């Protein structure tokens, strides 16, 4: 749950600073986080 809050905050920060993209890494074995990021539309 906290991951979503942080991700939304970082996405807004990137928009506010006119960043072209937001990039991060997730360990493929971390199924909970992979599922969370997929729900946001992330490409994994």
Query: 31-39 and 2-16 helices cross at what angle (nearest 10)?
Result: 50
Give the residue ranges of DSSP H helices in the chain. 2-16, 31-39
pLDDT tens for each residue of the chain, 44 residues long: 577 788 889 999 999 999 999 888 889 899 988 888 888 888 87
Q: CA-to-CA distance for 34 and 44, rounded, in angstroms?
A: 8
User: What distances in angstroms separate CA 10 from CA 3, 24, 29, 37, one per listed residue?
Assistant: 10, 11, 23, 13
Q: What is the pLDDT of residue 1?
A: 57
Which pLDDT value is given to residue 9? 92
């Amino acid at each position: 749950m906290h991951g979503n809050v942080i991700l939304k905050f970082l996405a807004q920060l990137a928009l506010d600073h006119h960043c072209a993209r937001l990039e991060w890494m997730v360990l493929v074995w971390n199924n909970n986080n992979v599922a969370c990021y997929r729900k946001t539309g992330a490409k994994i």
